[in-house]
Chain A
Amino acid sequence: MDNKVYIVHGSAIVQQGLSEVLLKNFKCTIQCYYDFKSLSESDDNCASKSIIFVEDKIANSTEFLQFIDQSHEVKSFSIVNDCAGNLPVNNDYTLSLYNSPDEIYEGIKHAFNTQGLADEESEGLSNRELDVLKLVALGYANKEIAEKLFISTHTVMSHRKNITEKLGIKSISGLTVYAIINNYIDTTNLDIKDLI
């Protein structure tokens, strides 16, 4: 990860702490902002392939989701205040304030496949990405997918970005075709024409 990283969080303590963990483990340059407005208004155009760590309430705001949708190569993690500490470290583009530095490192590495952690089969789509792909192919909107899979809209969009990047397929219809020809969805009772 030799990248430009942005941290958008209202707490200076979180900014400092996360910066330290990131710099210790990855080669990157970091820019911090207290809110999304300051980032979007800054001259610092989020370059392609940058990564944004963002406070969860911002991550799920309409402005941010729109921004992420339009910036194809920007990836983002939402930082949640999970004081109960039940948030598993997984591939869901979410970090908890209570994750240990090691967990943060693993979570990031896992999500970006930097060490080839994804299985080599099926174009490297993770199980979670497959779940999202199937629902996208069946025509569900991001918000509906989020509800069905018990994840945030932000996480759904992060998965979608990754799917598109891995498969090289951008349009919803294209993803539907991919899902059908690989038998990921059952089309026996569906009209394929309507689906695509």
Chain B
Amino acid sequence: MNRFTKQNKIIHLVEANYHLLPVLNRFGINLGNKDKSLEKICAAQNINIDFLLAIVNTFHNEEYFPETELKSFSPLLIIDYLKKTHQHYIEYVLPKLESLLELLIDSNITEIHQLNIIEQFYQKYKKELLLHIKEEEQEVFPYILNLVNNNQVNNQFTIHSFEKEHSNVDDKLNDLKNLIVKYIEPVYDNNICNEFLITLFRFEKDIKDHARIEDKILLPQLITLEKHING
């Protein structure tokens, strides 16, 4: 799979993979840039082009994950990107999933109410995800920022296993998919169901990429920083 370069234009990226659209938005890049290259767009908007390319390429190609390069970027850049991703989930993806689920439930005219149980499950998943995001934004990220900016280690603070949290949240998303695809009576509008599942699949891919950056890049960076400061 080809890797995107500085010379590419937005249209090249989007034609190859339209799932990159929200990723570009997270960097503050909008459409309508005529024929400008990524390099020019980034220079004009003061965006770190190397970081953008690393993120875009890893998102596009699951096999491509240049750990050393990614770890060389400032944790501040990474945190900023991760926060934008959280915002995208909270403001756009979750509300979209919910409204589709509502439509799906409304499309059922039978007496079978399995979808209501699925909705309870979804709510539980959402609650856990939001809690996880809140912990990251209110505890983990500020801790890292303090580490980077002030060289301060708080020995009271423990990273309560990022990775385990992630796998718990991922498991539920996977279960939601399986329950609908395999076990629920199909007493609903198929088109709405497809739309819901497509949104779910896309979200799953996005969130896996997100978790991979946290677990494989940010967390090791944090451990190295702590070691460095502690001497």
Contact = CB atoms under 8 A, between A and B. Distances in A.
Contacts of B168: 171
B183 A178 contact: yes
A196 interface: yes
Given A178-B183, A181-B184, A196-B124, A173 B117 contact: no
B146 interface: no
Contacts of A182: 183
Contacts of B178: 167-169, 174
Nearest to B182: A168
A192 interface: yes
Contacts of A192: 117, 120
Contact of A181 (B125, B174, B176, B183): B183
Given A181-B183, A181-B184, A169 B117 contact: no
Contacts of A196: 117, 120-121, 124
Given A170-B174, A171-B172, A174-B172, A193 B120 contact: yes
Interface in A134-161: none
A161 B89 CA distance: 31
B172 A173 contact: yes
Contact of B171 (A167, A174, A177, A193): A174
Contacts of B174: 168, 170
19 contacts: A168-B178, A169-B179, A170-B174, A171-B168, A171-B172, A173-B121, A173-B124, A173-B125, A173-B172, A174-B171, A174-B179, A177-B120, A177-B121, A178-B183, A180-B117, A181-B117, A182-B183, A196-B120, A196-B124
Interface of A: 167-171, 173-174, 177-178, 180-182, 192-193, 196
